A and B are shown apart, each in its own frame.
Chain A
Amino acid sequence: GNSVTQMEGPVTLSEEAFLTINCTYTATGYPSLFWYVQYPGEGLQLLLKATKADDKGSNKGFEATYRKETTSFHLEKGSVQVSDSAVYFCALSDLSGSARQLTFGSGTQLTVLP
């Protein structure tokens, strides 16, 4: 079956530091890949997505590239802010272009200190 593995948290960074959150996946076929963010007390919000190999998703300074050869979709940001403190979830769907039947990673808690 499908699975998503995220780096374990929590991750604590100082403001303006570089962020990487690792995500690797196991899936048959050609999945779509997603990063969601959850701020305290809220639901999940889509941060970015990629639907095929070598696609780069980007939003709000965050980026992730769909690497089929390494089955990875690592999240990066060049300079984090205190407002980026949240839980980040990597997810996949088992059909390219689809967002149904999502499989989620366990989430990575990020805290950014001023």
Chain B
Amino acid sequence: DAGITQSPRHKVTETGTPVTLRCHQTENHRYMYWYRQDPGHGLRLIHYSYGVKDTDKGEVSDGYSVSRSKTEDFLLTLESATSSQTSVYFCAISFMNGAGETQYFGPGTRLLVL
């Protein structure tokens, strides 16, 4: 257990509304990531962070923004949700341990945009 929680776990929203998903970690790791999971695509990186206020874009960043004002929280915002953003969103952290550097994933947030 890498101490990652995501909230909410499920959300239904309407097209055009803003949505914020939260990822919280308890162990002060530097690197955090947001992915989306869609059938046939595996996981695709949306944004990642390498420290407070330090973020960068991933493969599928259009329509998403992120913020990291403190080490433990990494927020993903859909400014104006669209049906194409219906997906399962996973947060991850990476850190070094006895097995080398590894990414660990949260439980996911299932988002439905109507």
Please count how many residues in chain B sit with their CB below 8 Å of the partner chain's CB atoms. Answer: 21
Does more than half of chain B's interface fall in helix, strand or loop, or is it mixed?
Answer: strand
- Is the CB–CB distance between B100 and A49 below 8 Å? yes
A89 touches B101 (CB 8 A): no
Q: Which of A36, A43, A107 contacts B107 (CB 8 A)?
A: A43
* Distance, CA A100 to CA B45, complexed state (A): 11
Tell yes or no: A69 within 8 A of B by CB.
Answer: no
Q: Is the CB of B99 within 8 A of A49?
A: yes
- B101 near A102 (CB under 8 angstroms)? no
How distant is A88 from chain B, measured CB to nearest CB, in Å? 11
Asked whether, in the complex, the Cβ of A43 is within 8 Å of the Cβ of B106, the reply is yes
Given the known inter-chain contacts A44-B43, A107-B42, please indicate yes or no for A99 contacting B105, CB distance below 8 A: no
User: Which residues of chain A have a CB within 8 Å of any CB of chain B?
Assistant: 4, 32, 34, 36, 42-46, 49, 51, 89, 91, 97-102, 104-107
B interface residues, Cβ below 8 angstroms from A: 31, 40-45, 48, 90, 92, 94, 99-108
